[in-house]
Amino acid sequence: MKQAKIRKDLTAEQVEDVAALFKALGEPMRLRIVQSVCHGPRSVGEIVEAVGSTQANVSKHLSLLAGAGVLGRVKDGQRVFYGVKSPLVTELCGMVCAHLGM
C-alpha cells in the first residue's frame, strides 16, 4: 500500500486547520450528510429525507460543514442546495472506507 507523506513543517495555524477539518467530519450525522451529497448537490429537504433526521438538526450540521469548507451551498429561489466543495472530502472518505474494508 502506498504511504502518503505527512508534512513535518506545518505551522501551528495549519495544524489547527487540519484539526478543524477532521472535527467537522468527526460526527456520524455529518458523515451521513456528506454521503448523501457525494454524488451531486441536494436540497435541504432531500438531505433531511436521506439521513432520516429533523430539518433543524440537519440545518445545524449543514451550517457547520459549510463553515468548515466541506460543503458548498447554492440558493435557487426558496431552495438551498448543498454539495461537496472539495474532492478531497470524498477522496478522504473513500480512503478511510477502503482501509476499513468497506
> What confidence score (pLDDT) does residue 3 get?
59
Residue 9: per-residue pLDDT? 85
Confirm whether 80 is domain-assigned. Answer: yes
Let me know: does 32 contact 22? Beta carbons within 8 Å: no
Quickly tell me which residue has 449543514 as its cell: 62
In a domain, 37, yes or no: yes
| Rounded-to-integer distance, Cα 75 and Cα 43, Å | 9
Q: What is the pLDDT of residue 7?
A: 67
**What is the predicted pLDDT for the residue at 4?**
61
Q: Does any domain span residue 83? A: yes
Give the count of domains, the chain: 1
Domain that holds residue 55: 14-99
| pLDDT one-digit tens code per residue, 11-36 | 999 889 889 888 999 999 999 999 99
In a domain, residue 65? The reply is: yes
Residue 54 is predicted with a pLDDT of: 97
Residue 9 resides in a domain: no
Low-confidence spans in the chain with pLDDT less than 50: 1
**Domain assignment present for 91:** yes
Cα of first residue to Cα of last residue in the chain, in angstroms, is: 16
Determine, yes or no, domain membership for 2: no
Q: Is residue 19 in a domain?
A: yes
Residue for grid cell 435541504: 44
Kindly report the CATH number assigned to the domain that includes residue 43: 1.10.10.10
